[in-house]
Amino acid sequence: MNTSVEPYTTEDGREIGGVVMEMKNITLRFGGVVAIKDISFDIRQGEIRAIIGPNGAGKSSMLNVISGFYTPSEGSVWYQGAPRPPMKPYQIARQGVARTFQNIALFEGMSTLDNIMTGRLTHMKSSMLSQGLWWGKAQQEEAEHREIVEKVIDFLEIQTIRKTPVGRLPYGLKKRVELARALAADPKILLLDEPMAGMNVEEKEDMSRFILDVNDEFGTTIVLIEHDMGVVMDLSDRVVVMDYGKKIGDGSPDEVRNNQDVIDAYLGVAN
């Protein structure tokens, strides 16, 4: 692993390690639209890295590049010290990067528990066929997955809604179930696309606490897109600011808050 940057401990006692992922001169085009223009930045082990910027700035597109869902038109993504080749969907799931979506993408008719179980799918070895042939082995595997899922349910305090069909849950809880499903995959890097959008103050506080707890307890590296500047300032170690597909700022929350380009393009409007 590339540890070219010295590890350090944050003021609140979290350990930040070396660089785990590096975006090198990423450009992403959709036909004539240039969603990302020559952007470089890195992500360090254990940090909470925010991406902010106005609507259409290219934030979700960047998250899709980080996850490997989009292959950049130009530039490369380095992961754990080596360039990462273009990936197939099953490879994306297995590399240890899990995500939530800007628009909730859960199975509304299924229970909370079953939705979270789908987060384990990429780890399941037994196919349907082998479950018929090797019933005992598959049953043991199922029990192991259940145990991990139960831990996630406890951690996110959603025991009381485990049997509830997700379609009946209020918005804030649906977002929490989505986080639970991503966590069930036991990710090294967790990508959150506006996890607090549309939430009330109390729901935002809950979600902020869970994001911090995940980072603190499991050392999970988190990349977070968020519009609420208060949340970004509270949670993140470093912030990338995007505008019209370009990077216009990169640094600590205080640094970007005082960056004139960022104020002009974004903060002036948001505040």
Ligand X SMILES: Nc1ncnc2c1ncn2[C@@H]1O[C@H](COP(=O)(O)OP(=O)(O)OP(=O)(O)O)[C@@H](O)[C@H]1O
Which residue ranges make up the site for ligand X (CB under 6 A)? 30, 33, 35, 53, 55-61, 102
Considering the complex, what minimum distance in angstroms separates the CB of residue 102 from Mg ion? Answer: 5
CA distance linking residue 50 with residue 231, whole number of Å: 10
Q: Tokens for 1?
A: 């692993």
Q: What are phi and psi of 123, to 5 degrees?
A: -95, -5
The beta strand positions in the chain, using DSSP E, are: 8-9, 15-16, 19-30, 33-44, 48-52, 74-79, 82-83, 97-100, 189-193, 221-225, 238-243, 246-251
User: Residue 55 binds which entry of ligand X, Mg ion, none, with Cβ cut-offs from 5 to 8 Å by kind?
Assistant: ligand X
Residue 271 binding target from ligand X, Mg ion, none, CB below 5 to 8 Å by type: none
- Residue 58 interacts with, from Mg ion, ligand X, none (CB under 5-8 Å by kind): ligand X
At residue 102, what is the residue type?
A: Q
Shortest Cβ 226–Mg ion spacing (Å): 11
State the binding partner of 57 from Mg ion, ligand X, none, CB within 5 to 8 A by kind.
Answer: ligand X
Show contacts with Mg ion in window 99-138 (CB under 5 A).
102
Residue found under tokens 């939530």: 100
| 128/269 with CB nearer ligand X | 269
Cα(3)–Cα(21) distance, integer angstroms: 11
Q: Which is nearer to Mg ion, 60 or 126 (CB)?
A: 60
Give, to the nearest 10 degrees, the angle between helix 135-155 and helix 201-218.
120
| Residue 76 or 102 having the CB closest to Mg ion | 102
> How many residues does the structure list for the chain?
271
Min. distance of Cβ 51 from Mg ion in angstroms?
9
**Shortest separation between residue 244's beta carbon and ligand X, angstroms:** 9
Q: Is the CB of 8 or the CB of 30 nearer to ligand X?
A: 30
Judged by beta carbon, residue 78 or residue 244, the one nearer ligand X is 244
Rounded to the nearest whole angstrom, what is the least distance from the CB of residue 227 to ligand X in the complex? 7
The three-state (H, E, C) secondary structure of 184-213, written as one string = HCCCCEEEEECCCCCCCHHHHHHHHHHHHH
Residue closer to ligand X by CB (options 184, 222) is 222
Contacts of 109 (CB under 8 A, 6+ apart): 165, 166, 167
**Which 26-65 residues touch Mg ion, going by CB under 5 A?**
59-60
- Tell me which stretch binds Mg ion (CB under 5 A): 13-21, 95-103, 240-248, 257-265: 95-103
Instruction: Quote the least distance from Cβ 241 to ligand X, whole Å.
Output: 11
Q: Are 66 and 97 in contact (CB under 8 A)?
A: yes
Which residues of the shown chain bind Mg ion in the complex (CB under 5 A)?
59-60, 102
